[in-house]
Amino acid sequence: MNAEVKMMRTAAETQYADALGSLPATGAIRDLRAKALSDFIEKGLPHRRVEEWKYTDLRVLMREMAPLADRPDASAIAEAKKNGVLANIGAREITFVNGAFAAELSNLKGLEKGLSISTLADALAKDPMLPQLLAGLNPSKYDAVYALNTAALNEGVVIDVAAGAQITKPIHIRHIVTGTKPVSVFGRVFVKAGKKSQATIVQSHSGPDAVAYQTNTVLQLSVADDAELDVVRVQAEGDKAIHLSMMIGAAGAKSRFRSFTLTTGASVSRHTVPFAFAGKDIRASISGATLLRHKQHADMTLEVDHALPGGESRELFKTVLDDETKGVFQGLIIVRPDAQKTDGRMMSAALLLGESAEMDNKPELEIFADDVQCAHGATTGALDDDLMFYLRARGIPKKEAESLLIQSFFGEAIEQIENEKIRDAVMLRAGKWLAERSVK
């Protein structure tokens, strides 16, 4: 007899299998999709007994799959036009509305020399090797979010920065959801940063409040030797949305990578970052600020994998938890036997504002090399009474005093953003969150 207990399929699992199984199959990615779907059907959604998902039980948090979104009509496009975030950062905008590429809201004209931007469909038609490239950035083990994203693979964008190209204008990929009906949207972005190239990618997710839509989005980054890539993500989904995302990166020798994620949206969100140091002397910084209110649940899970010597990684995450929110930070730094002289530092700090807010911090080191410098820390605390008193003794009212201290707390993470305009825009959004806060 088989001792393993086969779990009952949830409604969501059945709905995914049916909906994604009936998508029309398309040429080059047909096999990729079929394989991903059969993996999903076999392994399903993760639950709390799956170690990496211990604090975010998707089987429970996502009972049903929302129906696949229809192609956006004129009114959806009109709505999206009004509703994007980070409008004033001087970026080239590429827009997806309800998961579908919206040419009307995208600017593919006058691309800088060395920059190529294609829809996933066009890129697949042009480049028969693309499916292999994408698969080269698979997570190391089964991940339901990735499997579903691949099983639904259809819409997306491929950004190719040629070797040596210096693209100064940021490229902003906007994923906007519209309407009042819960829908499922999928998105895939692949960025290939060539040798010695330089580029800045911004990715934002936004949508209506009070609609239980579901986003599944995967960003794959291939950073070649000596390249410099900056990524800024803003997750500002509507307050009832479920947002599942991954940023999968592999960096080559002497490359420089920086990423920052601002999380303010969704009722449930999970962002997973597997990042591979696949060359020597890489410097990477992965940071984020997460601002939660009401009953939001946000999970940030990193796996930074140093395979070769001389890598430097810095991870700084700040989580502000108001009301009855729950935050999760899982950060794993792996240093493989060849990765001597690795210098890894990871910090997750949480600020609890709400009495029933909760933070689960799980920093981990797995070190197999002997000549390394690695440190991690995790702190959870409330606002400091003495600091509050000092500010208030100077006439600053409670809410403003709290705002100053909260802003100084998350500001340290936002400071990591290199591009000043983007940094200011992110700070402004975070400031808006503060302004909307009600003091108890």
Partner 1 sequence: MALLEVRNLQARVEDKEILRGLDLTVKAGEVHAIMGPNGSGKSTLSYVLAGKSDYEVTGGTATLEGEDLLELEPDERAAKGLFLAFQYPIEIPGVASMTFLRTAVNAVRKKRGDEELSTPDFLRFVREKAKELNIHQDMLKRPVNVGFSGGEKKRNEILQMSLLEPKMCVLDETDSGLDIDALKIVADGVNRLRAKNRGFLVITHYQRLLDHIVPDVVHVMAKGKIVRTGGPELAHELEAKGYAAYENAA
350 lines the binding site for partner 1 (CB under 8 A)? no
392 lines the binding site for partner 1 (CB under 8 A)? yes
Taking the complex as a whole, how short is the minimal distance between the CB of residue 271 and partner 1, in angstroms?
24
Of 370 and 385, which has the nearer Cβ to partner 1?
A: 385
**Candidate segments 177-185, 207-215, 238-246, 388-396, binder of partner 1 by CB under 8 A:** 388-396
**# of chain residues touching partner 1 (CB under 8 A):** 22
Of 60 and 428, which has the nearer Cβ to partner 1?
A: 428
Nearest 5°: the CA angle 45, 234, 76 is: 80
440 lines the binding site for partner 1 (CB under 8 A)? no
Of 61 and 388, which has the nearer Cβ to partner 1?
A: 388
Burial class, 97, CB count within 10 angstroms (exposed 0-12 / middle 13-18 / buried 19+): buried
113 lines the binding site for partner 1 (CB under 8 A)? no
386 lines the binding site for partner 1 (CB under 8 A)? yes
Q: Record the tokens describing residue 206, joined without a space.
A: 């936004």
Taking the complex as a whole, how short is the minimal distance between the CB of residue 127 and partner 1, in angstroms?
46
Of 373 and 408, which has the nearer Cβ to partner 1?
A: 408
**Candidate segments 175-183, 306-314, 335-343, 390-398, binder of partner 1 by CB under 8 A:** 390-398
**Which x/- pattern over 30-49 shows residues binding partner 1 (rule: CB under 8 A)?**
--------------------
Taking the complex as a whole, how short is the minimal distance between the CB of residue 400 and partner 1, in angstroms?
6
Taking the complex as a whole, how short is the minimal distance between the CB of residue 283 and partner 1, in angstroms?
24
Taking the complex as a whole, how short is the minimal distance between the CB of residue 413 and partner 1, in angstroms?
11
28 lines the binding site for partner 1 (CB under 8 A)? no
**Candidate segments 3-11, 209-217, 291-299, 392-400, binder of partner 1 by CB under 8 A:** 392-400
Taking the complex as a whole, how short is the minimal distance between the CB of residue 412 and partner 1, in angstroms?
6
Q: Record the tokens describing residue 141, joined without a space.
A: 């083990």
355 lines the binding site for partner 1 (CB under 8 A)? no
Taking the complex as a whole, how short is the minimal distance between the CB of residue 317 and partner 1, in angstroms?
16
Which of 385, 420, 436, 438 is the binder for partner 1 (CB under 8 A)? 385
Q: How far apart are CA 304 and CA 271, in angstroms?
A: 14
Which of 7, 371, 390, 439 is the binder for partner 1 (CB under 8 A)? 390
Of 201 and 401, which has the nearer Cβ to partner 1?
A: 401
Burial class, 27, CB count within 10 angstroms (exposed 0-12 / middle 13-18 / buried 19+): exposed
**Which x/- pattern over 393-412 shows residues binding partner 1 (rule: CB under 8 A)?**
xxxxxx-xx--xx-xxx-xx
Taking the complex as a whole, how short is the minimal distance between the CB of residue 399 and partner 1, in angstroms?
10
Which of 168, 389, 439, 440 is the binder for partner 1 (CB under 8 A)? 389
Taking the complex as a whole, how short is the minimal distance between the CB of residue 91 and partner 1, in angstroms?
28
Q: How far apart are CA 408 and CA 414, in angstroms?
A: 10
Q: How many CB atoms lie within 10 A of CB 250?
A: 21
Binding site for partner 1 (CB under 8 A): 385-387, 389-398, 400-401, 404-405, 407-409, 411-412
